[in-house]
């Protein structure tokens, strides 16, 4: 595919899409029904349908029986861990293999002209972004994901919580299933803002931001405290009428879904002249500029909070002005502290 038809590449080899990013129209005002209708297919396809399909296969074929789940035992816990790990190895691994190891589409549609493997850095274990990310993904990410899943399945099997079945409450479960991706984004925004508070950023979230030029393995490359916060949104299933299938869907949206923002390419080419849109640009800009796009843009929270970056020069200017104002505020605070403390002057 010719990526120049869709965007432009600068002298450093960084590619950006021509079309400005748009926030999801569901809660964006002035509200437009036709915008919502046009946007709806992209809400389901391809990602959320894929995550629901994986959740359904997991639930029907790869989750132990209710009787087994009633008693915690290392056998089934290990099984859940291994099936989740296998999924991530296949999903993230195949994208990494195709785009970053075999480089099947070269730099076409790649936001950052460089490949992380060419730039070893001391911030990573073994100086490798990929190795560091793999250790964090499988060392703490998958165990913590599995811990949430095991706890929720055990609670369901033992009747702890307002669990229901599709036969009894079809509309409530359908509604919950429909809003789960939106709820996940809202929850992610809240915990993400929290871990950008300087002290938490330094000790926790800076691990994830070490990947300035993310690749699929960067997706779950987080500090264990961030992993704990990241999946804590699934505890909502202990508060609202829910079903284990929706728990698995929610875990897929967060676990497998983390890859969406970290693919690093705007399209994954699937054939001659055909490519799948990744929706990765908003989160790529977060990795590039740190203090923009805390959510992914499906909900217009960043727009409301003045932190939305749509990839345009105007947004660049807005962001730089905001950073200058923040710097002036911080400098002003330091100056006034010096004035009120003559000893330190
Ligand atoms: Zn990220
Ligand atoms: Zn961040």
CB 73 within 8 A of CB 246: no
Tell me: do 195 and 326 sit in the same domain. Answer: no
Tell me: do 327 and 263 sit in the same domain. Answer: no
Q: Label residue 331 by pLDDT band (50, 70, 90).
A: confident
The region of weakest confidence among 264-268, 277-281, 330-334 is: 330-334
d(CA 122, CA 130): 13
Q: Identify which ligand lies nearest to the alpha carbon of 283.
A: 1
d(CA 142, CA 112): 28
Question: Taking residues 317-345, what's their average pLDDT?
Answer: 81
CB 221 within 8 A of CB 136: yes
Decide if 33 is inside a domain.
no
Decide if 20 is inside a domain.
no
d(CA 82, CA 311): 39
What is the 218 CA–ligand 1 centroid distance (Å)? 7
Q: Identify which ligand lies nearest to the alpha carbon of 195.
A: 2
Q: Label residue 344 by pLDDT band (50, 70, 90).
A: low
What is the 288 CA–ligand 2 centroid distance (Å)? 10
pLDDT in tens, 38-96: 999 999 988 999 999 999 999 999 999 999 999 999 999 999 999 999 999 999 999 99
Q: Label residue 343 by pLDDT band (50, 70, 90).
A: low
Average pLDDT across the chain, whole number: 95
Please check the confidence at residue 332 and state whether its pLDDT lies above 90.
no
In angstroms, the first-to-last Cα distance of the chain is 62
What is the 304 CA–ligand 2 centroid distance (Å)? 18
Decide if 207 is inside a domain.
yes
Task: Write the CB contacts of 230 (distance below 8 Å, at least 6 apart in sequence).
Answer: 188, 191, 222, 254
Percent of the chain with pLDDT over 70: 99
CB 193 within 8 A of CB 294: yes
What is the 326 CA–ligand 2 centroid distance (Å)? 18
Question: Taking residues 87-106, what's their average pLDDT?
Answer: 96
Question: Taking residues 147-165, what's their average pLDDT?
Answer: 97
214 to 110, 130, 156, 187, 230: CA distances (angstroms): 11, 10, 37, 22, 18
Tell me: do 329 and 216 sit in the same domain. Answer: no
Tell me: do 328 and 287 sit in the same domain. Answer: no
Q: Which two tokens stand for residue 195?
A: 């871990």
What is the 299 CA–ligand 2 centroid distance (Å)? 17
Full domain range(s) for residue 340: 312-345
Q: How many CA atoms lie within 13 A of 175 on its CB side?
A: 6
Q: Identify which ligand lies nearest to the alpha carbon of 205.
A: 2
Question: Taking residues 136-143, what's their average pLDDT?
Answer: 98
Tell me: do 147 and 100 sit in the same domain. Answer: yes
Classify strands 7-9 and 267-271 as parallel, antiparallel or unpaired.
unpaired
Q: For the stretch 282-312, what's the b/e string if a residue is b when 16 or more beta carbons lie within 10 angstroms of its beta carbon?
A: bbbbbbbbbebbbbbbbbbbbbeeebbbbbe
Tell me: do 177 and 196 sit in the same domain. Answer: yes
Q: Which two tokens stand for residue 340?
A: 């009120």
Q: What is the DSSP letter of 161?
A: S
What is the 99 CA–ligand 2 centroid distance (Å)? 24
Q: What is the DSSP letter of 119?
A: S
The region of weakest confidence among 99-103, 116-120, 288-292 is: 116-120
Decide if 7 is inside a domain.
no
Question: Taking residues 258-262, what's their average pLDDT?
Answer: 95
Residue where the block lists tokens 């054939």 = 271
In terms of Cβ atoms closer than 10 Å to its own Cβ (0-12, 13-18, 19+), residue 226 is buried
What is the 72 CA–ligand 2 centroid distance (Å)? 35
Which pLDDT value is given to residue 78?
Answer: 98
What is the 309 CA–ligand 1 centroid distance (Å)? 15
What is the 35 CA–ligand 2 centroid distance (Å)? 29
Tell me: do 296 and 318 sit in the same domain. Answer: no
Q: Label residue 336 by pLDDT band (50, 70, 90).
A: confident
What is the 41 CA–ligand 2 centroid distance (Å)? 28
Question: Positive or negative, the Cα torsion across 34, 36, 42, 44?
Answer: negative
What is the 137 CA–ligand 1 centroid distance (Å)? 13
Tell me: do 119 and 247 sit in the same domain. Answer: yes
Q: Identify which ligand lies nearest to the alpha carbon of 262.
A: 1
Q: State the total domains in the chain.
A: 2
Decide if 193 is inside a domain.
yes
Tell me: do 228 and 322 sit in the same domain. Answer: no
What's the whole-model pTM score?
0.93
Please check the confidence at residue 345 and state whether its pLDDT lies above 70.
no
Tell me: do 60 and 118 sit in the same domain. Answer: yes
Decide if 1 is inside a domain.
no
Q: What is the DSSP letter of 212?
A: S
Cross-strand pairs, 267? 277
Decide if 321 is inside a domain.
yes
The region of weakest confidence among 102-116, 235-249, 319-333 is: 319-333
Tell me: do 114 and 238 sit in the same domain. Answer: yes
Tell me: do 328 and 194 sit in the same domain. Answer: no
Decide if 31 is inside a domain.
no
């Amino acid at each position: 595919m010719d990526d120049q038809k869709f965007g432009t590449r600068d002298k450093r080899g960084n590619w950006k899409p021509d079309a400005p990013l748009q926030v999801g129209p569901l809660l964006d005002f002035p509200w437009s029904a036709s915008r919502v209708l046009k946007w709806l297919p992209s809400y389901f396809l391809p990602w959320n349908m894929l995550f629901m399909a994986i959740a359904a296969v997991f639930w029907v074929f790869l989750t132990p029986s209710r009787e087994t789940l009633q008693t915690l035992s290392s056998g089934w816990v290990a099984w859940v861990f291994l099936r989740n790990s296998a999924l991530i190895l296949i999903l993230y691994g195949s994208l990494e293999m195709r785009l970053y190891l075999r480089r099947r589409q070269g730099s076409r549609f790649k936001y950052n002209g460089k490949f992380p493997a060419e730039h070893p850095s001391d911030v990573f274990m073994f100086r490798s972004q990929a190795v560091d990310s793999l250790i964090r993904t499988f060392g703490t990410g998958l165990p913590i994901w599995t811990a949430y899943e095991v706890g929720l399945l055990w609670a369901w099997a033992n009747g702890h919580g307002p669990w229901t079945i599709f036969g009894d409450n079809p509309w409530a479960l359908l509604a919950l299933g429909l809003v789960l991706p939106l709820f996940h984004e809202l929850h992610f925004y809240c915990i993400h803002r929290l871990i950008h508070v300087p002290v938490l950023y330094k000790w926790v979230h800076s691990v994830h931001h070490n990947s300035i030029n993310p690749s699929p393995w960067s997706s779950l490359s987080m500090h264990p405290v961030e992993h704990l916060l990241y999946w804590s949104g699934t505890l909502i299933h202990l508060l609202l009428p829910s079903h284990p299938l929706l728990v698995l869907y929610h875990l897929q949206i967060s676990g497998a879904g983390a890859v969406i923002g970290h693919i690093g390419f705007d399209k994954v080419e699937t054939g001659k002249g055909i490519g799948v849109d990744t929706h990765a640009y908003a989160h790529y800009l977060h990795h590039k500029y740190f203090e923009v796009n805390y959510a992914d843009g499906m909900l217009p929270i960043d727009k409301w909070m003045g932190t939305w970056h749509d990839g345009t020069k105007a947004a660049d200017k807005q962001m730089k002005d905001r950073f200058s104002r923040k710097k002036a505020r911080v400098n002003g605070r330091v100056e006034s502290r010096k004035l009120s403390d003559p000893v330190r002057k």
